[in-house]
Amino acid sequence: MRRQFFLLSLISLYLATGCAGVSTPTEPSSNSPDINSRTSHAILGYWQVEIDPVAESMNFIPLRSSEMHLNALKFLEPPFGIYVTPYGINFSDTTVECDVALTHPFMGLDQFTGFDVCGIVITRGSLTGFQDGNLIIPGTGDTRLLNPDGYSRWWNPVEFPHNNTMFSYIDGLMGNKHSQANYTATLNGYKYFADGLGPNQPISDLSPTSRAVFRPGQKNLRHYVIELGDEFFFNYAVDASWEHPEGLPPYHIPNSFPENANRAEAWNIVVSEIENTMYYEDGKVGGELHLVVNVFDWFDADLNTLFIEAKNGQIMSGPVYPSDGGIGFSTYMVEITDPNPESSGELDLLITVMSEEEDFQGFIPGTNTSAYFIYTTTVGDEGPPPQILDCGEMEPIIGSEHWEDWYGSTVDYRSGMGMTRSGDPYIIGRKRYADQGTWVDELNGIRARKETGSSGNYDYKIDFAFNVVPFANIVSDSKNILYFGLNINQSMVYTVPFDPNTGFGTWTEFAEITDGFSINLMSVDKNDNVVVLGRRTNIDPPSIDFTVFHWNGTGWDQTVIPMYTYQSGTIRDFACNPYNGDYVITCHTDDGTGYLQSDLVAVNSDGEVVHLEADIFGEFNHDQVWFPFFCFDPDSPDCRLVVWGCCEPRGFPTINGYRPIIRYDALYGSKTMGQTSHGNYDAPWGKGAYAPGTDRLYTGNSVWTIFLTWFNLPSDW
């Protein structure tokens, strides 16, 4: 913990022991704080700055309280104190620029070397909406410093009120009092003064070992660019840190001074954008922001905690801790994955670097001393375009797989030969086992369990995983789990922990879909939240109105799917696009000649059709295309969307048709078409279509299940 002294107390001692032209100081008043209980921060001077745009002049008026009786305060007044001198004043529209010089008065008295000297512009503020509701920053329309090296909470009159002590805010006698000027900003911009730092140099030019000293007798200049609001005055405070040097003279600067001669908080940050895809487009937001922030602190840089936010919660990070660092700095990796910008264009981020120390001299109880900086980033005005990818060549499945269905029929996948099968066309990849109430060993990705329902009928729970999609060579990391039973009268979604060793009676009714819907297709979004497609059944005709139910953790968000001329159609497959969150459907519609065509529809979460492609297998339009199923490939860089179906020549129904396959690049972008040598016209794999079957999926270490209206839910579940 830093020992806490004030520069002014040492100045008083110096003046008492022979400073020429200054009388012996009196005792501090009884309501002055204990100087040994304070931080190393001290206020070296306080001025009101009056600006006359007509005369193009700036007048610095020293301020002090009439109730202060410390002769040491003469240090704050010319000719003995810190000298503030403006140079090269330039006015342009609503801005004024000048170089401000601070001169240290104690030539040769190295023991009074200052550290971390800052000239703070204190004004009114209007920018609010931060996690700390006490933070108010000058914004557009306020008088403010446009080129700050950082922002300081020290010495603002709201949180450091005038209370007749030598260490608090000093109200004006010759200028406007705070009660009149209403300096409401609690975070004010400052310029940093140090030996060797030129008027326009960035503070990152300082050596991390220099400790930002301000030697006695030195004059340092910094360039100020100030935007003027309605008022033509502001307050100017000089803040510094100091601690008595160790040992006896001669003193070596800075090594003779202890660590707590510097301020506790960080003095600089350097921000690098690694990725910025944030956008705001017609009320829609998205993208990500990845930053690397190097935080510079003279000592204990690894003890700081970083927070980044934009007003009103547009961006908000939790506490970020250092992941790396070097001499005098620590590195923070920040990932903002859920921005909520209010508009496109520039966006100011408030970066708070919280130190390990709680002080602020007791004026802000429970608040760690912190450094504040503003970094300006940009928000795009449109979402990122889809990436154009090369689909490459389609390859058949290598090797073969053999599946046995519920009734003992077989399904074979053979390399280069397509798929052949016999038996029920809607039951694939399911095998019946006779052992009651137990899980069987995994066989080709299949696990099964048989249960006895209340009616005495057998119900089967099968867990199977397809590792390849036929003929597309697409790897999938999802598991589809199906359940078949009898005679249920409502549609529900259930979930159960995915653990073969737990009891089978652990099903939980996770959510019931709104009355009037029949449901049987599920998907997951990119965050593994369950998405369900439902068809309204309490209207006539029932197939016009479809609704997506999106699980939000406690209930269902709903989006109506505006199906075009869909009255005679049938949905065959449904999924949530893992790249942009669209709801995607393949379906059959009447092509007007009595045959069905396959269509692809994508709808966003607002119910707007963002992609509509009719007759996607157009070049096969001399045939009838059945069962257009599809999948998104989240892993392969070669393809984003694959749709496949089954064809039979028109007028010649046959089970020996062929399978057209479409591979899209860039989501719904250009496509490559192909076909297999032969195959059946029925469903190519067991995900299920709208009319038959049900759907289950595995996510979040739980199995989600849809029970259809014609299933029987056993009473013991």
Cα R_g (the chain), whole angstroms: 37
d(CA 186, CA 370): 13
Which range, 238-247, 368-377, 447-456, is most confident? 368-377
Is the pLDDT at 452 greater than 60? The verdict is no
Of the ranges 24-38, 269-283, 307-321, which one carries the lowest mean pLDDT score?
Answer: 24-38
Lowest mean pLDDT among 25-39, 330-344, 380-394, 600-614: 25-39
Residue 563 vs residues 297, 582, 589: alpha-carbon distances, Å: 60, 15, 11
pLDDT digits (tens, 9 = 90+) for 524-539: 787 777 788 776 554 4
Residue 439 scores a pLDDT above 70:
no
Write out 185-208 in H/E/C secondary structure. Answer: CCCEEEEEECCCCCCCCCHHHCCC
Cα three-residue angle 389-395-398, rounded to 5 degrees: 140
For position 572, what pLDDT does the model report? Answer: 75
Average pLDDT, integer, range 281-295: 91
User: Percent of the chain having pLDDT more than 90?
Assistant: 28
Residue 349 pLDDT exceeds 50: yes
Asked whether 510 and 681 are in contact (CB, 8 A), the reply is: no
Angle, CA of 381, 384 and 387, to the nearest 5°: 160
Taking residues 619-641, what's their average pLDDT?
A: 62
Instruction: Identify whether the C-beta of residue 370 lies closer than 8 Å to the C-beta of residue 355.
Output: yes
* H or E segment to which residue 315 belongs: strand 315-316
Give the pLDDT band (50/70/90) at residue 278. very high
At 390, list the tokens: 């090369």
Most confident stretch, 251-255, 509-513, 652-656: 251-255
* Of 114-123, 234-243, 486-495, the least confident: 486-495
How many CB atoms are closer than 10 A to CB 90? 10
Backbone angles phi, psi at 12, to 5 degrees: -60, -45
Q: How confident is the model at residue 209 (pLDDT cuts 50, 70, 90)?
A: confident
- Domains present along the chain, CATH in parentheses: 1-263 (no CATH), 265-384 (2.60.40.10), 400-707 (2.120.10)
Q: Could you tell me how many residues make up the chain?
A: 717
Interval 130-158 mean pLDDT? 94
Give me the pLDDT at residue 82, please: 59
Q: How does residue 172 score in pLDDT terms, banded at 50, 70 and 90?
A: very low
In sequence order, the 6+-apart residues with CB closer than 8 A to the CB of 689 are 426, 570, 571, 572, 573, 627, 629, 683
Least confident of 92-101, 389-398, 549-558, 573-582: 389-398
Q: Is the pLDDT of residue 309 over 90?
A: yes
Q: How far apart are CA 238 and CA 243, in angstroms?
A: 17
pTM of the shown model: 0.53
- Strand ranges for 104-160 from DSSP E: 114-122, 144-145, 150-152
Q: Which residue has the higher pLDDT, 332 or 562?
A: 332
Kindly state the tokens that stand for 625. Answer: 């295309």
Q: Mind listing the pLDDT tens digit for each residue in 407-417?
A: 343 434 333 33
Number of C-beta neighbours around residue 402 at 10 A: 10
Q: Which residue has the higher pLDDT, 594 or 416?
A: 594
Asked if the model's pLDDT at residue 117 lies above 80, the reply is yes
**Mean pLDDT, residues 192-213 taken together:** 94
Asked if residue 564 has pLDDT above 80, the reply is no
Q: Which of 44-48, 76-80, 213-217 has the lowest mean pLDDT?
A: 76-80
Look at the block and give the residue holding tokens 């595995």. Answer: 698
- Average pLDDT, rounded, for the chain: 67
Let me know the angle formed at the C-alpha of 175 by 170 and 177, rounded to the nearest 5 degrees: 55
More confident site: 693 or 527? 527
Residue 220 has pLDDT above 80, yes or no: yes
Confidence of residue 705 (pLDDT cuts 50, 70, 90): low
| Listed ranges 99-108, 372-381, 419-428, 667-676; the one with the highest mean pLDDT | 372-381
In the predicted model, what is the mean pLDDT of residues 4-29?
Answer: 30
| Phi, psi for 9 (deg, rounded to 5) | -65, -35
Element (H, E) at 16: helix 7-16
> Which is nearest to 397 in space by CA: 465, 477, 475?
475
| Residue pair 10/268 in contact by the 8 Å Cβ criterion | no
Q: What pLDDT is attached to residue 385?
A: 54
**With pLDDT > 70 as the criterion, what percentage of the chain qualifies?**
55
DSSP H or E stretch at residue 459:
strand 458-464
* 489: confidence class by pLDDT, cuts 50, 70, 90: very low
Q: Is 528 helix (H, G, I), strand (E, B) or coil?
A: coil
Amino acid letter, residue 144: R
Q: What is the pLDDT of residues 131-144, one digit of tens each?
A: 999 999 999 999 99
Q: Is the confidence at residue 484, as pLDDT, over 60?
A: no
Exposed/middle/buried for 199, CB within 10 Å: 0-12, 13-18, 19+?
Answer: middle
- Count other Cβ atoms within 10 Å, centred on residue 672: 15
Q: How far is CA 648 from CA 421, 469, 471, 594, 596, in A?
A: 16, 21, 18, 14, 11
